[in-house]
Structure 1
Amino acid sequence: MKNRFKSGLAALASLLVFSLTTNAQTVDKKAATTDDKPKWIYSVGVDAGIPIGDFHDYYDWSLGGSLEANLAIIQRKLYVSLNAGYSNVFAKDDVVPGVKGQDLSLIPIKAGLRYYPFNTVSKLYVQGLAGVSILANKSDVGADKSAAFAYAPQIGYLFQLGKNHNYLDVAVKWEGTSKFADGDASEYNNLGLHVAYAFGSKK
């Protein structure tokens, strides 16, 4: 079940990147300005991911949710972003024989920029977020730190839902979190998929 989930997530991420790139090449640059994106874009979504590198030796996959607000600061192309959420990283059992793995409970809080590179109508975007990830169960996992630096570059697309400023926000992202314990072999790296309901306001 877990292997099918991870394979499906990786395939979906690859398909999404191809779809976004193809869609961007057919953007109608002559669309009416009334189709411009709103000044404010809010979203609530689900995040799933696959641990990468040494992190995958101890953890299978992650699942969580997030809230985000984006405010246009230059036309409708460059937005400032604020994101907060929760993620559970599911541990593998018996990595150490007879020892049950302990999940990680993470609360990431990040800020950054979202850029729509083509025009004010295009819904394709690239985004970079950085901030802190709080380890909510530090004592359970025996970590040295309760917070670590976190960053998340991503590429996504706003699929229009109806005639108003309602969207399905779908993105592929890389999430990196620095070490919570001095003896950890590597950072906590994660390849993820973000799917959210987004809505906008002109004000």
Structure 2
Amino acid sequence: MKKLFLVALLFGFSPMFAQDDNVDLTPDNSWLKVGLTAGIPVGDASDVSDFTVGADIRGQYLFNPNVAIGFASGYTHYFANDDFEDFGVIPAAAFFRYYFTPDGLFFGADVGYGFLANIDNNDGGLYLNPQVGYHNRDWNFYAYYQNTFAENDLNLSNVGVGVTYNIRFN
């Protein structure tokens, strides 16, 4: 099932990343986003963890002033309660963002695979991360809901806030 999902993801998103001779990458349309997140586990994860922190890294290409795509990864660390060990999620995802104005409100979502760290008998599963936030030329501030639909009926979810800084490509 994992292989089928990864193949579908690869073929589904490959047209978005196809080479086009007319694409010109500039500091105004492409950049790297790096940042931090903090959240509270919900669902299954709230039974064994009370807090999450994470690192967020993204490569973004802005098609026009409103629509962006890219790759997202990072790490979300779940701090476990007394009787459990800490664990985490490492996403490999594509993302989409819609910016209403050059500075202001945005909506976005990451879709991909969440690899689980320090969880026995479970490699991971479908990763979703919808977001809503505020952005300007250099910063993004957002609220999110992150969910990894892992194997063996395990769903690791958290809600939180994040901030990223835009590093422009030259």
Q: TM-score normalised to the size of structure 1?
A: 0.65
Distance in 2 separating the partners of 1:84 and 1:183: 23
Structure 1: 5+ residue runs without aligned partners? 1-36, 94-99, 160-164
Distance in 2 of aligned mates of 1:58 and 1:67:
26
Aligned amino acid, residue 146 of structure 1: D
Residues 1:147 and 1:64: Cα distance change in structure 2 (over 3 Å): same
Aligned ranges 1:52-63 → 2 under 5 Å: 52-63=42-53
Q: 1:194, CA displacement in angstroms?
A: 0.9
Runs of 4+ in 1 over 4 A off after TM superposition: none
Higher-strand-fraction structure: 2
Partner of 1:105: 88
Amino acid at match of 1:91: A
Name which of 114, 117, 135 aligns with 1:136. Answer: 117
Separation (CA, whole Å) in 2 of partners of 1:136 and 1:191 = 19
Separation of aligned partners in 2, 1:72 and 1:168:
15
- Contact 2:124–2:148, Cα closer than 8 Å, also in 1: no
- TM-score, length-normalised on structure 2? 0.76
Q: Deviation per CA, 1:147-172: give whole Å up to 9, x if none.
A: 2111000012124xxxxx5x121110
Structure 2: segments with no counterpart, 5+ residues? 1-26
Greater Rg by CA: 1
Higher helix share: 1
How far the C-alpha of 1:137 sits from its partner, in A, is 2.0
Following the alignment from structure 2 to structure 1, what is the Cα–Cα distance between the partners of residues 65 and 168? 12
Quote the residue 2:103 is aligned against. Answer: 122
1:1-203 matched pairs, under 5 angstroms: 38-73=28-63, 75-93=64-82, 100-117=83-100, 119=101, 121-138=102-119, 142=120, 144-159=121-136, 165=137, 167-180=138-151, 182=152, 184=154, 187-201=155-169
Task: Give the residue type in structure 2 aligned to 1:44.
Answer: V
Contact 1:130 1:149 in 2 (8 A): yes
Quote the offset at 1:69 in angstroms. Answer: 1.3
Q: Say what the alpha-carbon RMSD is for the aligned residues.
A: 1.9
Partner Cα separation in structure 2 for residue 190 and residue 146 of structure 1: 18
